[in-house]
Amino acid sequence: MYTPDLYKNENQEEIKGFLKENSFGTLINQTNGKLCATHIPIELEINADGKEILQGHISKLNPQAEGFKENDQVLAVFTGPHSYISSSWYDHENVPTWNYIAVHVYGRIKIVDYETSVEQLKKLVDKYEINSENPVRVEDLSAKTMREARGIFGFEIEIDEIQATKKLSQNRDDHNYKNIITELEKTENPQSIAVAKEMSKCRK
């Protein structure tokens, strides 16, 4: 991922927090000579060896999985809030741009066994059911329903490299920076307001 030095995020704790909060990612690989992508939850976890990994699952009917046998290298892409930035918000002439946060994780994927896949499902469901009035638990599902779990491949990705971009108008002076935040807040667009909040955290 091309990232000018000014926009590189190398704060590892911040990156981990971002991955946990924005875990619906895009898994990309090459299968039969073609690029393939699947949009799925991909969770940052710690394996039995205490090493950080990504884990998730895809359908066995998904042809993307065929490529894992030929080449285990994959890319997982995660995006956060993003917004158009109008140059009319500056006190000088300049070009419009886009502010955004994104993380690319490069690694090697392996398919895990059925029991491990079910454990992954339990963690995933528990994470997203925590605020439900009547939370669903994988452990409580019937044998008939759980047979559907036989239709997925659980996977783990050993992380080789993480590239993180945080492009939030860092190149602007305080006056223009604050004005961008104000204009973003006026839009009433949830993405734009989220970008404004992130910008506010970066520069008081």
How would you label 78-102 residue by residue, b for 16+ Cβ within 10 Å and e otherwise?
Answer: bbbbebebeeebbeeeeeeeebbbb
Asked if pLDDT for residue 204 goes beyond 80, the answer is no
C-alpha angle 164/170/172, rounded to 5°? 160
According to the model, what pLDDT value does residue 98 have?
Answer: 97
Model pTM greater than 0.75? yes
Per-residue model confidence as pLDDT tens digits over 21-71? 999 999 999 998 899 999 999 999 998 888 999 999 999 999 998 899 889
- Give all domains of the chain, ordered by start, each with its CATH number: 5-170 (2.30.110.10)
Cβ atoms of residues 160 and 107 within 8 Å: yes
According to the model, what pLDDT value does residue 45 have?
Answer: 95
Mean predicted confidence (pLDDT) in 3-12:
96
Distance CA 168, CA 197 (A): 10
Which pairing describes strands 73-85 and 52-59: parallel, antiparallel, or unpaired?
Answer: unpaired
